[in-house]
Structure 1
C-alpha cells in the first residue's frame, strides 16, 4: 500500500484535523479504578485522561486516518469488523498458509466459542467501568461500519477477539505463530482505521487479550477441546487449499504501514 502524500492527508473531510482537535474534550467517566469486587485483569491500565498527551495523540490519529476512506486498507478494515467465526477464521487464512474453512474445523470453532465465552464478559465489564466515548462521537467524520449500538470504546473488544484468536491458532499450529500474531496486530489496527476505536483502545486490547487467553489456555476444563482442535487443524494443514494470493498481498502491505506508529 503506498504511503499517503501530505496533500492527501491535508484533504480531510469538512471537519479536519484542526477542527477535531478543537472539539470539547469528553468528560471524565468517573473513577477510573475498577472496584475491588470486579474480576477484571489487573494488568489493564485506565484509558488516557481527557486532555492528556496520549489522549490528544489518539485524537490526531483518528483525524488523520480518515484520509484512508475508500482505500484498499479501509475495505480490509471493513471486512475485519465481522466477528462471525467463518469470517474470523478466513481472516487468518493467509497467516495459516492455507484456507481456514470453519465448516471443516468444528473443534477449532468450538475452541474459539469457548474462548469468547471467557473474553466477552470481561471486556464488557471493562467497557462499562471505564465508559470511554467512541472517536466518532461529537463529530461527523466517516467510519467504516455502522456507528449505532457499539457501546463504549475501551478496551477494543474486536482487538481482543483477533488477538486471542491468533494466540489460539498459534498454539494449535506453532509453525505459523509469528504470522498469526502479525495478522492479529493488523486486525486490531483495522479498528482505528474504521474510526470506531482510539489507538489506545487497541493497545489495551492486545494487553487484555494476552492475559485473558492465558487464563483460558491454562484452564483444566479446556485441555481436551484444545487437543482435539490441534489434531483437527494439523490434519487440515495436510489437506490444504491455498489462500487467495491477492488477499495475502493486501494483508502483507497493511502490515508494513502501522497506524499505531503513525504510518499510513
Structure 2
C-alpha cells in the first residue's frame, strides 16, 4: 500500500464504505421488528379458509373487466407516484427529487423488514396452488405471505397522508384500491393483503419514532407541500 499515491488511497477509502454500508443505513432495523412473531400464520393449504380464499380469487378473476385488469397491471409498479391520482397531478418524481429519494429509501427499508417473514412462511402463490388462477399481472418471484405490495401501499399511504392531511381520505381510499388490485391480479390471497396492511402500519409506526427518518421526512414533506401549492 505504501507505493500507492495518496489521492488513490483516499479514493479507495471513499469507495469502500459505499459498498460496506449497503443495506445498513436503515431507519428501522430487522432487530426492531420480527414479523414472524407479530403476524399470524397464513391459512394452511388444506384448510377451509384457504379454500374460501381461493373461491374468492376465482370469482374476482371471472368478474374482472379489461379496465380492471389494466388498473391492476399499472398498480403492479411499486411507486409512491401511483398515488398521484389521489394527491394531484404535480405529484411526480420529476418535480419532487428530494421526496422521490426519500420514498425510495422508505421502500427499501420496508423490503428489508418484510423479507424474512416471506421466507419464514414461504406460502405458495395462488396460481402455484391452483392452475385455474390466471394472473393478469406479472408473477412475482417470491412467496405470497405477507403481500409486499400491500405492505408498500399501506406504508406509503400513511407517510403520504401525514405529509398531506388535506388529502388523507383520498390517499387511504387509493391505498385500498392498490391492495385490492393484488387480489384482482391473481397473485395474492386476501389474507396476504391483510397481513401486508398490518405490516405496513407497524413499519410506519416505527419509522415515525426514528430521528433519522423524521429529519428526512421533514425535507421531503416541505418539498411535496411546496410543489402541491400547500402551506408549510
Instruction: Give TM-score, length-normalised by structure 1.
Output: 0.70
Contact 1:69–1:142, Cα closer than 8 Å, also in 2: no
- Per-residue CA deviations over 1:110-168 (Å, capped at 9, x if unaligned) read 22122122210221111100010000014143211232x52110000011111111111
Q: Unaligned stretches of 5+ in structure 1?
A: 1-36, 240-264
Aligned equivalents of 1:219, 1:38: Cα separation in 2: 11
Show the counterpart of 2:121.
130
Aligned equivalents of 2:137, 2:124: Cα separation in 1: 16
Contact 2:43–2:50, Cα closer than 8 Å, also in 1: yes
Show the counterpart of 2:138.
146
Shift of 1:69: 4.7
Show the counterpart of 1:80.
75
Residue 56 of structure 2 is aligned to residue 61 of structure 1: yes
User: 95, 104, 111: which one pairs with 1:120?
Assistant: 111
Shift of 1:39: 4.5
Aligned equivalents of 2:136, 2:190: Cα separation in 1: 16
Show the counterpart of 1:30.
none
Residue 34 of structure 2 is aligned to residue 40 of structure 1: yes
Aligned equivalents of 1:61, 1:150: Cα separation in 2: 23
User: 102, 117, 142: which one pairs with 1:111?
Assistant: 102
Judge which range, 122-131 or 98-107, deviates more: 98-107
Residue 199 of structure 2 is aligned to residue 208 of structure 1: yes
User: 49, 71, 91: which one pairs with 2:44?
Assistant: 49
Q: Unaligned stretches of 5+ in structure 2?
A: 1-30
Residue 168 of structure 2 is aligned to residue 177 of structure 1: yes
Instruction: Give TM-score, length-normalised by structure 2.
Output: 0.79
Q: RMSD over aligned Cα, in angstroms?
A: 1.9
Contact 1:127–1:154, Cα closer than 8 Å, also in 2: yes
Larger Rg: 2
Show the counterpart of 2:157.
166
- Per-residue CA deviations over 1:172-228 (Å, capped at 9, x if unaligned) read 111111211110111010000010011110011100100011111221111221111
Contact 1:66–1:141, Cα closer than 8 Å, also in 2: yes
Contact 2:76–2:138, Cα closer than 8 Å, also in 1: no
Contact 1:43–1:207, Cα closer than 8 Å, also in 2: no
Residue 231 of structure 2 is aligned to residue 236 of structure 1: no
Question: How many pairs are equivalent?
Answer: 198
Contact 1:47–1:201, Cα closer than 8 Å, also in 2: yes
Judge which range, 152-161 or 98-107, deviates more: 98-107
